[in-house]
Amino acid sequence: MLGEQADLVESSAWLHDIGYTPDLATTGFHPLDGARYLRHVQEADELLVSLVAYHSCAVVEAEERGLLDVLKGEFAPPPDDLLDALTYSDMTTGPDGTHLPVERRLSEILERYAPEHLVHRSISRSSPLLTASVRSVQQRLAEVG
């Protein structure tokens, strides 16, 4: 379905949470921290870097953190189809690697954070967009068989 971009999206799926690594966490916003590390230290492909920076509606959490202008100023958004594929991977895989329906994955994330926490607010706000990304990929998968 992704053609020549399949390996790139798979790599981004493996690396999208690298910014949680304590040594890399400079802002505390893992998409930004991970993308900066991949760009400046690893000199990774810019498309991979942008997928990490924008994964799973990162723009919503960036806005909650007051970092939206920083994110957009440093990184160009990736193509929607590739971002949807990465979102699908993230939003249908649990922390232990099991495949989950998107609704269960979103519930699992919300259960980890109190309602007043910015991650809880961000996931609550972005849930319709995340679900739409997953549904888009599921539809495309069904079409290609």
Q: Quick one: average pLDDT of 62-78?
A: 98
pLDDT in tens, 87-120: 999 999 998 999 999 999 999 999 999 999 999 9
The proportion of the chain whose per-residue pLDDT surpasses 90, expressed as a percent, equals 96
Domain count within the chain: 1
How far apart are alpha carbons 57 and 39 in whole angstroms? 20
Range 47-51 contact pairs with CB under 8 angstroms and sequence separation of 24 or more: 47/5, 47/8, 47/78, 47/82, 48/8, 48/11, 48/12, 48/15, 49/75, 50/75, 50/76, 50/77, 50/78, 51/8, 51/9, 51/12, 51/16, 51/78, 51/82, 51/83, 51/86
pLDDT in tens, 15-61: 999 999 999 999 999 999 999 999 999 999 999 999 999 999 999 99
Give the type of residue at 30.
H
Bridge-partner residues for 99, per DSSP? 93
Per-residue confidence at 82, pLDDT binned at 50, 70, 90? very high
Picking from 79, 78, 91, the residue whose alpha carbon sits closest to that of residue 133 is 91
pTM: 0.94
Per-residue confidence at 77, pLDDT binned at 50, 70, 90? very high
Give the pLDDT confidence score for residue 145 in this predicted structure: 78
Per-residue confidence at 1, pLDDT binned at 50, 70, 90? confident
Domain residues for the domain of 133 are 3-144
